[in-house]
Amino acid sequence: MKKISYILILVLLVSGCGLIPAYRRSLPDSQKVANMALYGGSKSRVKSDFGIPDEKREENELEIWVYHNREDGRTVEFSFDDRGRLVGTLWGK
């Protein structure tokens, strides 16, 4: 009986952890960007939430990733330092 309860708990934990990325993907872009600005972000998190950037460029020792025509037709830019940490975001027209 103990084995079955351990297996059941393990299955519930694993399935629950799998729902977190799906929940993040269902958020609107503005909420994703706000969460990253508040709690920090990285290149891997931005790529998992937004996909491959439409454009990459370098400015003032920062790497800029640009995503065009998001859900509301606006552009969003993410700035990363040399360690891949998110240091700024910018919404465009």
**8 lies in a domain?**
no
Highest mean pLDDT among 19-23, 52-56, 67-71: 52-56
Number of domains in the chain: 1
Q: Which domain holds residue 62?
A: 28-91
Give CA–CA dist 71/12, Å, rounded.
33
Structure-model confidence comparison of residues 7 and 58, the more confident one? 58
**44 lies in a domain?**
yes
Give CA–CA dist 31/28, Å, rounded.
5
Percent of the chain with pLDDT over 90: 34
**16 lies in a domain?**
no
Per-residue pLDDT, averaged over 58-78, amounts to 88
**77 lies in a domain?**
yes
- pLDDT tens digit sequence for 22-55: 666 678 888 888 888 888 889 999 998 888 999 9
Q: CATH number, domain at 80?
A: 3.30.1450.10
